[in-house]
Amino acid sequence: MQYDSRKLGSLCNDILYIVDGVDNTVVAVSNARKLLEKNEIVVQPGGKRFKCAHPKFTCATLVYSGSPLNAPVASALLPNGNLIVANTKGGNTLVELTPTGQVLDTKVIDKSTIAHVFGLLATGTSDSDTALFYTDTKTNTLQELEQ
């Protein structure tokens, strides 16, 4: 698998977070705005090691791998810097991770075995006014997650 800066992910402080549903990983790409060419960062098989063309300027690091990630497909950054990752297997579950990879919480959105959470957006400026929205392809709607 090869990443480039145009792929979907969450960007904060010039770090691009990318979820990989094949390897059940979350990867952080440092200095993402400096990525200039295709294949600057190549993920080795298994999704945990990286070959970086310019490691002094930009490279990838593994944030998290394994359970409770289960075919993650989307992520969003919360105002506090944590990540919300949406699984697509084993139910529609959201996983909250710190940028250093600590699992803080999981929340089941729907117990259906059919994946239907495919997009996430977090808004707000603090924990008290954060709103998390997700697309629900089962009902073809945009939903707000209740805290």
pLDDT-derived band at 105, boundaries 50, 70, 90: very high
- Give the pLDDT of residue 108: 86
Residue 3 predicted with pLDDT over 80: no
- Give the pLDDT of residue 7: 40
Q: What is the pLDDT of residues 45-93, one digit of tens each?
A: 888 999 998 888 888 999 999 999 999 989 999 999 999 999 888 778 8
Residue 6 φ/ψ region, left for φ over 0, alpha for ψ in the -120 to 50 degree band, beta for the rest: alpha
Q: Give the position of tokens 């998290």.
A: 64
Assign 3-class secondary structure to the chain.
Answer: CEECCCCCCEEECCEEEEEECCCCEEEEECCHHHCCCCCCEEECCCCCCEEECCCCCCCEEEEEECCCCCCEEEEEECCCCCEEEEECCCCEEEEEECCCCCEEEEEEEECCCCCCEEEEEEECCCHHHCEEEEEECCCCEEEEECC
pTM given for the model: 0.82
Q: What is the pLDDT of residues 5-46, one digit of tens each?
A: 334 445 457 888 999 999 999 999 988 888 878 888 888 888
- Give the pLDDT of residue 141: 83
Average pLDDT value for residue range 100-107:
95
CB of 87 closer than 8 Å to CB of 70: yes
Average pLDDT value for residue range 111-138:
83
- Give the pLDDT of residue 4: 39
pLDDT-derived band at 127, boundaries 50, 70, 90: confident
Nearest-angstrom CA–CA distance, 83 and 65:
14
Q: Superfamily for 2-145? A: TolB, C-terminal domain (2.120.10.30)
CB of 51 closer than 8 Å to CB of 7: no
